Structure 1
């Protein structure tokens, strides 16, 4: 990797609670992208970049042009960017792939950097519990549900989805942002279970909105990236270890 770094960020939720309130956070994130592109080997975005995203056949949600433009600029410069859909942008299809040349993943994926193994994903619906959300996700990802929603006029569909995203924690998958202890942290339990069948140096997720790095096995760490709502945290891997940092610009 020489002196290059791998960067990770998650849960920006741009557009929430309103586009106007979200705009300063978008500007801050674009400034961060401008900074990390100087030494980035790759950039991983682990979902919920938007508080709501749905791709109609010829329409995508309005806004976010600075973020999308900066991602396009970085990708065009040759830096790989990887996107993992979250529970708020799970209806993403091929827009990022066609317009930005950014691959989109709908589940965990394994990577190896400098002989360190990574399991990377958004983290929603993983581990024990959260049964209400898991049931809701099955409804949302059902082809019939998507087909019905697509027939709504975008002005109606987007407004309805934004309302539900902000108001209904069950649908949004939002959780109280406080550490519950290893036995009650579903993604910690999920990580330990994954390590029973295969070793990873880092299991990196978003979704939880709570930045943390926990040792979950021998030379194995669970990493949650936090968010860009209250923490403005991100992960950086320098070839030897992964650390969480706070962007304070």
Structure 2
């Protein structure tokens, strides 16, 4: 029998009701992969958007929360770091899904290594327009005011923001929308970590720089040709592996 997978990391699924193949791929991952692990880290943008925990009444969101809760009830510890699409997730969702909310930078220790976990959007510092927007919407006062609006109004605002974001992305360079070396180096320095795992950029890779390893998670699009998606795993021997959507180990 080979090494046992202990920890799994995923991000950028962008779950939404009108992408049933994506939903089924995620539920299959929970049932076939995550159920045998000890810990699962959701590193942001699990949902395409999150308008507030009162949207848990939505049948689709209830289904996803129930699937996570079933996994947690089965003994898997689930942890959440917010992404740029679902940073409004709060304690009500966390309780329904049986998961623990983490701050936007989190360090775990495994086999003598410090591994820092982030979503990745805060490290895209060359995108000054986005960074200004991010600073605004992460303010507690802004969130309190926004969440006080009716749910339908919040969803309409979010739809407008998503449209603007798509237009902006078409005008931005490839480099501006990626993390910057300076921001990545700062996270390593601040946390004294030697390994980083993040998502956000949709550019899965392994980067080795100056004695550090940076693993980038993929976004999920099982409907694409070829399908995109996957996860990162740590086994009981300490090996970190990148996996495609079908479970194949990537090198």
Q: TM > 0.5 between the two?
A: yes
Deviation digits for residues 62-87 of structure 1 (CA, Å, limit 9, x no counterpart): 22333222211110111111100001
| TM-align CA RMSD | 2.9
For 2:28 and 2:173, the matched residues in 1 are separated by: 26
Query: TM-score, normalized by length of structure 1?
Result: 0.83
CA 1:25–1:184 in structure 2 vs 1: closer, same or farther (change >3 Å)? Answer: closer
Which of 239, 246, 249 is matched with 1:248 structurally? 246
1:159 corresponds in structure 2 to 156
Pick aligned residue for 1:124 from 117, 121, 125: 121
* 8 Å CA contact retained: 2:51, 2:158: no
Name 1:224's counterpart in structure 2: 216
CA separation in 1, counterparts of 2:61 and 2:29? 15
Counterparts of 2:186 and 2:214, CA distance in 1: 12
Cα 1:153–1:223, aligned 2, differ >3 Å: closer, same or farther?
same
- CA–CA distance in structure 1, aligned partners of residues 129 and 190 of structure 2: 27
Aligned to 1:60: 56
Partner of 2:25: 28
**Structure 1 residues not aligned, in runs of 5+:** none
CA apart distance, 1:59: 4.5
In the alignment, the residues of structure 2 paired with residue 162 and residue 184 of structure 1 have an alpha-carbon distance, to the nearest angstrom, of 21
What is the total number of aligned residue pairs between the two structures?
238
Matched residue SS, 1:234 = strand
CA contact (8 A) 2:50 2:89 kept: yes
**1:102 — aligned with what?**
99
C-alpha distance after superposition, 1:183-209 (max 9, x if no partner): 994254422333345542310111111
- Report the 3-state secondary structure (helix = DSSP H, G, I; strand = E; otherwise coil) of the residue aligned with 1:125: helix
Task: Measure, in 2, the Cα distance between the counterparts of 1:53 and 1:169.
Answer: 16
Could you tell me which runs of 5 or more consecutive residues in structure 2 were left unpaired when the two chains were aligned. none
Whether contact under 8 Å (1:191, 1:216) holds in the other structure is no
With 155-164 and 67-76 compared, the bigger mean Cα shift is at 155-164
Q: Post-superposition shift, 1:240?
A: 2.4
CA contact (8 A) 1:206 1:224 kept: yes
With over 3 angstroms needed to count, the CA separation of the structure-2 counterparts of 1:198 and 1:110, relative to structure 1, is: closer
| Deviation (angstroms), 1:52 | 1.1
When residues 184 and 206 of structure 1 are mapped into structure 2, their CA distance, relative to the original with a 3 A threshold, is: closer
Q: What does 1:160-179 align with in structure 2 at a 5 Å threshold?
A: 160-165=157-162, 167-169=163-165
Residue 9 in structure 1 maps to residue 46 in structure 2 = no
1:173 offset after TM fit, Å? 8.0
* Aligned-residue offset at 1:61: 6.3
